[in-house]
Structure 1
């Protein structure tokens, strides 16, 4: 076998050398560089994860303490009616309504406890009432009920004026019907708060 000589031989030798270099780069150097870059990225991700896990571990005692406090304290106590059953919670709602009416000069004509309804983990306790008052007493009573604690919600309100003679007027010229409800926590308040 005769190899080309002269300028032509040198060009063939350089071309063969370039082919070997290109093949070596494509099949050896580039895969090794890709493996190295993947290792560097994986190392960076692992260090970031370790830092994050260390921060989470540092927060663990505080989170456990908060969980224990939620288990021992009822977090819904300020906003829900008390009472071991719906009847006791309804009695509390009725008492709050009657106290607010008495303070604001509202005369309660009738009061009826509604059947309790389940709203997820909470129970809805309601009352229907009929009363007589003037507009100022009604406004003050509703404000007291809706802004007090535990929370109470006005469902329905019907206001009608009563025809009275001027001499017999007692100031109670409005006939009011309203539905009011509050919420009572179920058997396990901590489970309710966790939802």
Structure 2
């Protein structure tokens, strides 16, 4: 008889938990709707319809960010930027540009932060920073001990799934 009473108590507690969860459904649905609306205003995917346009967008954003971090390329400049083939090995098409910069420490931090914190989302991978200890300053006739940084990384973003399907569709 005690086992039956224990079983009844357990089932009543379970039923109470389930009823409380059901009562929370409207609140959960409202919060989900708010989060979906917020996410739609802050896109994570690149809106371009094909990898070539997305690559151009990556490069333009890189150029704007570097220019903002160092107006006139006084202390930060793009040494090289090379697009890579889009990767279809992942669920979403990944568009990548290999980047090499020559920057000071503050400018490097500003560039990396601006690239990763913007919208749509862009990511930094394979980051390598080499400190240049000494360099020759043109016009001064001497070496300087204030070295910059040689920064190389992969800048990448992802295309919307339907954008890839539209680009891959036969015409």
TM-score normalised to the size of structure 2?
Answer: 0.62
Q: State the 1:167 CA deviation.
A: 1.2
Change (3 A) 1:61 1:175: closer
Match of 2:12 among 47, 65, 69: 47
* RMSD between superposed Cα atoms in Å: 3.7
Match of 1:152 among 92, 111, 123: 123
Q: State the 1:57 CA deviation.
A: 1.2
Q: Deviations over 1:130-185 (max 9, x none)?
A: 4444455434333433454534214232547485464178x9x7583522223325
Task: Give the Cα separation in 2 of the matches to 1:108 and 1:68.
Answer: 42
Structure whose residues are more often helix by fraction: 1
Q: State the 1:70 CA deviation.
A: 6.0
Task: Give the Cα separation in 2 of the matches to 1:168 and 1:129.
Answer: 30
Task: Give the Cα separation in 2 of the matches to 1:125 and 1:76.
Answer: 22
Gaps of 5+ in 1: 1-35, 189-195
Q: State the 1:71 CA deviation.
A: 6.2
Q: Which has the higher contact order (CA 8 A, sep 6+)?
A: 2
Task: Give the Cα separation in 2 of the matches to 1:135 and 1:68.
Answer: 42
Between the two proteins, the alignment pairs up a number of residues equal to 151
Change (3 A) 1:176 1:58: same
Change (3 A) 1:121 1:168: farther
Secondary structure, counterpart of 1:117 in structure 2 = coil
**Match for residue 12 of structure 1?**
none
